[in-house]
């Protein structure tokens, strides 16, 4: 576990051991979140890195069909609780 210090300018240096494990690079963008009293940084992926993540998805299903299925599924859950 590494400990970091917040500077007077509210900057934090990410330790090299963490940078290397996550493959972080200088000037890489991170999203910052406050979650349950913790600070969470999530690397922002470039749009090119997301290419192909939906490969093989069934595009024949329409959005309204998906919503109908979700509504029926949640109705069944409510009835059985």
Question: In this predicted model, which residue has the larger pLDDT, 64 or 32?
Answer: 32
- Buried b / exposed e over 8-41, threshold 16 CB at 10 Å, is eeeeeeeeeeeeeeeeeeeeeeeeeeeeeeeeee
Q: pTM for the full model?
A: 0.51
Please indicate whether residue 70 or residue 6 has the higher confidence score (pLDDT). Answer: 6
Domains of the chain by residue range: 16-46+53-80
How long, in residues, is the chain? 81
Q: Tell me the per-residue pLDDT of 35-62, one tens digit each, with 9 for 90 and over.
A: 999 999 988 877 777 777 777 777 776 6
Least confident of 14-23, 33-42, 71-80: 71-80
Six-digit token string for 68: 């109908």
Q: Which pLDDT score, from 0 to 100, does residue 34 have?
A: 93
């Amino acid at each position: 576990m590494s400990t970091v210090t917040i500077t007077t300018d509210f900057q934090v240096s990410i330790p090299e051991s963490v940078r290397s494990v996550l493959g972080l690079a200088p000037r890489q963008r991170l999203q910052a979140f406050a979650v349950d009293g913790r600070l969470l940084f999530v690397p922002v992926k470039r749009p090119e890195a997301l290419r192909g993540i939906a490969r093989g998805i069934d595009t024949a299903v329409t959005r309204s069909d998906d919503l109908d299925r979700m509504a029926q599924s949640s109705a069944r859950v409510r009835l059985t609780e």
